[in-house]
Amino acid sequence: MDTENIIIINGLKCSFSKNETILETALRNGIKIPSLCYLSNTVSTGKCKICLVEIEGEDELVLSCQTVSQHGMVVKTDTPRIAAARRARLEELISSGHHNCLVQEMDINSWTDFQRDAMAPDIHRTLCPAYGECRLQDLAIQYRARPVKAAKITAPPVEDVNPFIVRDFSRCILCGRCVKACNEVQVNRVINFNESESKVITKDDLPLKDSNCVFCGECVQVCPVGALVSKRDFEIHTKPNTTKKIRTTCSYCGVGCQIYIHVKDNQIVKVTGVDNFGPNRGSLCVKGRFGFDFVQHPARLTTPLIRKGKKLKEATWDEAIDYIANKLGYLKDKYGPDSIGVLTSARITNEENYLAQKFARAVIGTNNIDHCARL
Amino acid sequence: MAGLAAAFGSGAMTNPISDIEKADVILVIGSNTTENHPVLSTYVKRAVTKKGAKLIVADPRKIDLTQFATHWLRHTLGTDVALINGMMNVIIEENLYDKDYVESRTEGFKELKEMVKTYSPEHVEDITGVPAKQLVEAARLYAGAKAGSILYAMGITQHITGTDNVKSLANLAMLCGNIGIEGGGVNPLRGQNNVQGACDMGGLPNVYSGYQKVDDPAVRERMIKAWSLKDLPDRPGIPVTEMMELAYDGKMKAMYIIGENPMLSDPDLSHVKKSLKNLDLLVVQDIFLTETAQLADVVLPSASFAEKDGTFTNTERRVQRVRKAVSSPGDAKDDWKIICNLADKMGYPMKYGNPRDIFREISEVTPSYSGITYERIEHEGIYWPCPTKDHPGTPVLHKEQFSRGLGLFHAVEYLPPAELPDKKYPLFLTTGRVLYQYHTGTMTMKSDGLNQLAPECFVEISKKDAEVYHIEDNDMLKIISRRGKIKARAKISERAKQGMVFIPFHYVRAAANKLTNTALDPVAKIPEYKVCAIKIEKAA
């Protein structure tokens, strides 16, 4: 351990690298400091003000995402004073928008004016689509934060005039993660804060569909609340903890992004990027994130077909395999193995490609095997 | 990939994707990266905006990446070799090349030096239309890089000179000592999720898995033993483009097509249709009734990627897991199971319990995959070559030496495309893709959302050409080549270069490949999709 670069966090000696913030040093050393706006590999906005910590010898609490680690610093991340400050800030954030999740299951007669207000718009009668995956909700529960004021919540209307992304400004906490994701991770440079920093907007505040947005959905993936939601989630309101997610590799281009397929009752409901692992480190494109409908499309082939005259007729697997085996065998005997060609595929797995070439070479006896890589 | 194999001894991305952010100069040529490899393009954009790298984009179209470029070389379609030779001319003339590297790591430099002499920046300007001054600046920039990365895609390979184009890029990279180092390399971006894997697994007429040659007696002997056979064919087979020719002539009798749609992806579609219809037996195995499947004698329903276990190998040679998330519809089956059933029926039993069993066999017979197991790639994929179980994999190729020993320079002269505009067909056509659609659309066109964002074919045309032909935005046009015609709406755009139009090839109803040329690269057998001559008329 480099003795010149030591900081003590909660009694633990931690090494840090140059210009690293206390938050980053802590994370790297396995110490969790809660934050709503921190996004790795970007410059912190410091907007959520949750990551407060105490530094020995300093009167004020500081934001750990804005303070660079310095040799000899003694830091505490979880004192009663910090907890109180975090709770106050969380209450401010919950009160700033339509964050109705915590009252959802209460008797309506027990609602406060604030809660009634939060539940008033039609679209908010149902469960917030981020329920169960909301970082604000998690922290509000952890710190027992409650809405504090009954001020009227004014927010721009929900924008859903595009196929994929719903923007519900009434739930935006202005943390700026989406801005960072768009500008510093995907570098699409589509959204930013308006001048008064009261709304995240596209150029000229146009809807996404009329901006130069490419619908990569990185903003949806990083949104810590229910302000940016995939349209499918918004519409079907999948109950929390009823889906399972399976990690696999995207099937579009050659980049091989690592994805989670979220499944409920054998239906794909969502695709998200796998954070922290290459090659994509959580990022996806519009096709990978939103273009999964083909998998469970009604036009999928579900049974073998054999041509009878001009028409393809349904058949059993036995009939189809018999038919092909007989005909291939006949043609091979009559015209030789090189009269047969096999096209394997850039779409199927390695295991399947391996068997396809083995089939051509070992079963048919020809090297006439290729695929459409060139095309 | 033939070009890279000839120069380096191995035809794949030399460096991992994450290396892009370690380059200080990046040359992107023949790749519309933000639309075709969107996530990979974020590495390029971050390299420029966060790491201070300089970007050179060479493309006739004003693609989005040009916004990030220090130099945008807008060369005439099909003049890549001249452009690269021009850059090398400057680098050699001005003594900017890496002499130690050329001396110790390569061969064939003398011939290259002699050849590029004639490609003065002024002469290259005549061929490519790129101002000499700009070419010189770009050449100096690339040569000055500590680590220079070259990225290319189909815009380089889909030419009759595709192999030459790739060899030229290999020349340029070796000349500046950029192969075998972190952040450098010559990196072909593969278009489909498992093209790399299909090649690695021997889905090619001349090699078994791991690029082991079928005409090498020692290799064949080993495979005969591994597969418990008496014999294996010793002559290389023929590529897909020639299979179609033979089918057309009635010499190819049967084709078994798995997960491909040549009825949209091949050049000159009417020819393909006749070829496929001419077969005695056409078997198509796919997830949808594609245009190709509609011509089949037997159609076999297969499982999609989300319904099976296995591995894909991505463009950077990383072997990654595929896992089953949902069950297949109806009677659809995993492709591997279908192949096994068919082999069993034909008297060669293929008994595997699961894809893991198949992968074990792959590791046994494929030296570059020998050290890879499912356990090792549970969390993160491994880059081949990975020869042993304790080998960490190989992110950067050709570090100490090239796969073939010394890197080989190829003195490659510029040749014009097979078909150039003339009086009758006065415009260049180039084809490609758009962000919201994928290949022949069998997947993306099942998404209402993607269709909303990219609903139909279009002809991207420059403002000047639109004026010449009195075309307004959205006018319906007829686009006619020597091989066919299609209709599509005009999209007047500053992306298009004067004298050239662009059409995406995804759409069945206006299939751009009705127009394209079947002329092939003589080595790689890739059709010249990127260049042909057309004329346009307003549709009545």
What's the rounded mean pLDDT across residues B15-39? 97
| pLDDT attached to residue A103 | 55
For residues A11 and A109, membership in a common domain is answered with: no
Q: Are strands B25-29 and B310-313 parallel, antiparallel or unpaired?
A: unpaired
Is A97 part of any domain? Answer: no
* Interface contact A369-B237, CB threshold 8 A: yes
For residues A14 and A28, membership in a common domain is answered with: yes
| pLDDT attached to residue B535 | 95
- Does the structure show a pLDDT above 80 at A100? no
Q: Are B481 and B429 a contacting pair, CB within 8 Å?
A: yes
| pLDDT attached to residue B511 | 84
Q: Which structural domains are found in chain B, ordered by start?
A: 2-189 (3.40.228.10), 427-538 (2.40.40.20)
Q: Distance of CA B501 to CAs A168, B83, B206, B478, B487, Å?
A: 41, 21, 37, 13, 14
What residues pair up with B502 in beta bridges, in sequence order? Answer: B430, B460
Average pLDDT, chain A: 90
For residues A234 and A106, membership in a common domain is answered with: yes
Nearest Cα of chain A lies from the Cα of B395 at a distance, in angstroms, of 12
Q: Distance of CA B71 to CAs A288, B54, B134, B453, Å?
A: 31, 8, 7, 31
Choose among B399, B458, B396, B391: nearest CA to B429. B458
For residues A231 and A167, membership in a common domain is answered with: yes
For residues A223 and A348, membership in a common domain is answered with: no
For residues A69 and A145, membership in a common domain is answered with: no
ipTM: 0.94
Beta strands in A64-223 (DSSP E): 74-76, 165-167, 191-193, 200-202
| pLDDT attached to residue A121 | 54
| pLDDT attached to residue A133 | 86
What range defines the domain where residue A216 resides? 102-238
Q: Distance of CA A306 to CAs A201, B242, B260, B272, B275, Å?
A: 55, 27, 19, 21, 20
- Does the structure show a pLDDT above 70 at B286? yes
Is A89 part of any domain? Answer: no
Is A88 part of any domain? Answer: no
| pLDDT attached to residue B517 | 86
> Which tens digit of pLDDT belongs to each residue from B471-480?
999 999 999 9
C-alpha span between A365 and B7 (Å, rounded)? 32
> How many domains does chain A contain in total?
4
* Interface contact B350-A373, CB threshold 8 A: no
**Reported confidence tier of residue A150, pLDDT bands at 50, 70, 90:** low
| pLDDT attached to residue A2 | 54
Q: Are strands A305-308 and A311-314 parallel, antiparallel or unpaired?
A: antiparallel
Q: What is the CATH number of the domain that holds A70?
A: 3.10.20.740
Last residue of a domain, one of A194, A212, A238: A238
For residues A216 and A338, membership in a common domain is answered with: no
**Reported confidence tier of residue A374, pLDDT bands at 50, 70, 90:** low
* Interface contact A343-B255, CB threshold 8 A: yes
* Interface contact B253-A252, CB threshold 8 A: no
What residues pair up with B281 in beta bridges, in sequence order? Answer: B254
What's the rounded mean pLDDT across residues B231-247? 94
Is A93 part of any domain? Answer: no
- Cβ contacts (< 8 Å) between A339 and chain B: which residues? 251-254
| pLDDT attached to residue A117 | 56
| pLDDT attached to residue A50 | 97
- Does the structure show a pLDDT above 90 at A78? yes
Q: Are strands A258-264 and A267-273 parallel, antiparallel or unpaired?
A: antiparallel
Choose among B139, B1, B131, B120: nearest CA to B414. B120
| pLDDT attached to residue A107 | 52
> Which tens digit of pLDDT belongs to each residue from A317-342?
999 999 999 999 999 999 999 999 99
- The chain B residue lying nearest A214, using CA atoms, is B435
Nearest CB neighbour to A261, from listed B214, B229, B325: B325
Nearest Cα of chain B lies from the Cα of A102 at a distance, in angstroms, of 32
Last residue of a domain, one of A46, A78, A110: A78
Element (H or E) spanning B297, and its range? none
Q: For A52-66, A196-210, A229-243, which range has the lowest pLDDT when averaged over its residues? A: A229-243
What's the rounded mean pLDDT across residues B279-289? 97
| pLDDT attached to residue A277 | 92
- Cβ contacts (< 8 Å) between B5 and chain A: which residues? none
Q: Are A31 and A12 a contacting pair, CB within 8 Å?
A: yes
| pLDDT attached to residue B351 | 94
> Which tens digit of pLDDT belongs to each residue from A108-124?
555 555 555 555 555 45
> Which tens digit of pLDDT belongs to each residue from B390-427?
999 999 999 999 988 999 999 999 999 999 999 999 99
**Reported confidence tier of residue A234, pLDDT bands at 50, 70, 90:** confident
| pLDDT attached to residue A232 | 86
Choose among B11, B159, B5, B157: nearest CA to B520. B159
Choose among B485, B490, B475: nearest CA to B535. B485
